A and B are shown apart, each in its own frame.
Chain A
Amino acid sequence: MIRVAERQWRALGLAMLAPLALGQAEPHLVPDVSDRNIEIRYSFAGAELLLFGAIIYPDGRPPEGQTDIAVVLKGPLERIVVREKQKVAGIWMNVGRVRFRSAPSFYAVASSRPLPQLIDERIAAIYELGVDNLQLSPGGGHSAEVLRRFEHGLIDLRMRNQLFAEYPRGVEISEGVLYRARINIPARVPVGTYTAETFLIRDGRVVAGAAREILIEKLGFEGFVARAAERWSVTYGISAVALSLLLGWGASAAFRRRYG
């Protein structure tokens, strides 16, 4: 259900941009990324993703005035519960909770200048630019103040885990036509299909946009283990028990032979 709604929303967003991109007088973007596939392997300690591309102007020359770029990398949406701890009888324990139906598992935005200097709040909310402008779809029954507190808690937690990030001067534009941005992918990044969206911003308006998909997956032994734990949980459990019995028995047998 949510995936369908998300797709429709994206289609709507692209439809809004299409006339802009096709219009003769308007520029368009040719984006690319350094890795279409990020593989999480045994030594994965994070990665740096390079997002770059060219701005194509209809008359071949950048026009007068400032042109800005914002690049957003967004992970798959998740349904989550955020819990809040409070002190109860001397013990810190979870007391309150709020559900969010569409929290991105990863969100990073890089821009050539700090976002508030580029766009107003309305535009930022439409394009979900900035960690404070994400549409998290909270569950009902909470006051606006409570929701703000939990949203802030979630954003703060994920920013410290590097799962949410803002790079206010993270996009370099050279000669007005080439741009590039670097975004850090931390080790505990969730797997799935990510979208990298690039926005061309002039005079407080988004004048062009383009998207690329990036696949982050667990491959090799790690991917196999993660999939096995999900799909063949009984076999996986038996293997874990067998492994521990084998190692325990093997070590004692080896030592007994050595020391009698």
Chain B
Amino acid sequence: MDIYLPIAGLSVNALVIVGLGGLVGLLTGMVGVGGGFLTTPILIFYGIPPAVAVASATTQITGTSISGVLAHRRRRGVDMRMGAVIIAGGIAGSIVGGLVFRLLQDMGQIDTVISLLYVILLGSIGILMAKEAATALEIIKPSQRKGDRPPRRHNPLIAALPMRWRFYRSGLYISPLAPLGLGFVSGLLTVLLGIGGGFIMVPAMIYLLGMSAQVVVGTSLLQILFVTAATTMVHATTTRSVDIVLAGLLLIGSVIGAQYGARLAQTMKPELLRMILAIVVLAVAFRMALQLGWRPEEIYTVQML
């Protein structure tokens, strides 16, 4: 069933896109990541122009994160104050990111930058996750250094920042500049890569900010919801590459997939789920790295002025 995408300007098989959305949604529901890191590269491999893939994947993530935010709010798992600070940083980041995106597009380097950032981010995070999951599954032995020194709750750099606020739900008394900066980076990455950034934010919130674990996922989802919505607006008004038909097809698949994924997750070991995610992340990073090093199919590319 072919369907014409008005912004991408080409026909695609609607079932393939809905299926891709469903697959990503399943993963979202199972492990609680937005899945943009998977949608964007696959759309690019499928032939969607990178700018349209990035922008439309962002719109899709807004839809998949809303149900998560609602569920976590019911369980009081969202720190609204912390969320507001991160979102403020995130929106600033997405606006600056929009300018960077435009600049890179004019320089002709946007595709290379997108691929490079994907390889670096996914590669390093995939390795960390795989190692952690393998330790939990007792495939590899934990390193012996644990326990020598109690882990520090606060990163010394963050503790040194001026102007401290209290974040009751997170159980923190830290400077808002740290979450603001973190939000800024995630907003930047959302615009450039079409990812919600949950798989970067969650570890950063735990290990850098030291937030209490019950509010991390909910607050991260809240931030993703607002920052992806802001990013959709940035893309709609600057790059004009949000394809509402593409985003709609992806959403139909992913919102349903996410529901089944959430149910499936209850029957599986969480370590195993994280291992699956790590393998998927590494596979995407590997494929992207190959693409950078291999002679591309098209040496010449055309951009309208």
A55 to B296, CA, bound (A): 48
**Interface residue stretch chosen among B198-206, B207-215, B251-259:** B251-259
Whose C-beta in chain B lies nearest to the C-beta of A232? B236
B255 touches A236 (CB 8 A): no
Take A156-B300, A238-B233, A244-B62 as given contacts and tell me if A43 and B4 are in contact as well, using a CB distance cutoff of 8 Å.
Answer: yes
B6 touches A222 (CB 8 A): yes
Whether, in the assembled complex, A82 has its beta carbon less than 8 Å from a beta carbon of chain B, the answer is yes
Interface size class of B (residues with CB under 8 A): 35 or more
Interface size class of A (residues with CB under 8 A): 35 or more
**Interface residue stretch chosen among B63-71, B136-144, B165-173, B189-197:** B63-71
| 213-233 of chain B: CB within 8 A of chain A | 229, 232-233
Whether, in the assembled complex, B304 has its beta carbon less than 8 Å from a beta carbon of chain A, the answer is yes
B4 touches A153 (CB 8 A): no
B255 touches A247 (CB 8 A): yes
| 193-228 of chain A: CB within 8 A of chain B | 218, 221-223, 225-226
Whether, in the assembled complex, B248 has its beta carbon less than 8 Å from a beta carbon of chain A, the answer is yes
A85 touches B6 (CB 8 A): no
* Residue in B233, B293, B303 whose beta carbon sits within 8 Å of that of A234 in the complex: B233
Whether, in the assembled complex, B148 has its beta carbon less than 8 Å from a beta carbon of chain A, the answer is no
A240 touches B67 (CB 8 A): no
Whether, in the assembled complex, B305 has its beta carbon less than 8 Å from a beta carbon of chain A, the answer is yes
Whether, in the assembled complex, B157 has its beta carbon less than 8 Å from a beta carbon of chain A, the answer is no
A244 to B58, CA, bound (A): 10
Whether, in the assembled complex, A143 has its beta carbon less than 8 Å from a beta carbon of chain B, the answer is no
CB distance from B13 to the nearest CB of A (A): 10
- Some 25 contacts from A to B, beta carbons below 8 A apart, are A45-B2, A79-B305, A80-B302, A80-B305, A81-B302, A81-B303, A84-B299, A84-B300, A91-B293, A92-B296, A97-B108, A154-B300, A187-B4, A190-B9, A229-B244, A236-B242, A240-B236, A241-B62, A243-B63, A243-B244, A244-B60, A244-B247, A244-B251, A251-B67, A251-B258
Taking beta carbons and an 8 Å cutoff, which residues of A are in contact with B? Answer: 40-46, 78-85, 87, 90-94, 97, 99, 150, 153-154, 156-158, 187-188, 190, 218, 221-223, 225-226, 229-230, 233-234, 236-241, 243-245, 247-252, 255, 259
In the A-B complex, the 5 residue pairs with the smallest Cβ-Cβ separation, listed nearest first, are A237-B236, A252-B67, A153-B300, A244-B63, A251-B255
Taking beta carbons and an 8 Å cutoff, which residues of B are in contact with A? Answer: 2-4, 6-7, 9-11, 59-60, 62-67, 70-71, 108-109, 111-112, 116, 229, 232-233, 235-237, 240, 242, 244-245, 247-248, 251-252, 255-256, 258-259, 263, 292-296, 298-305
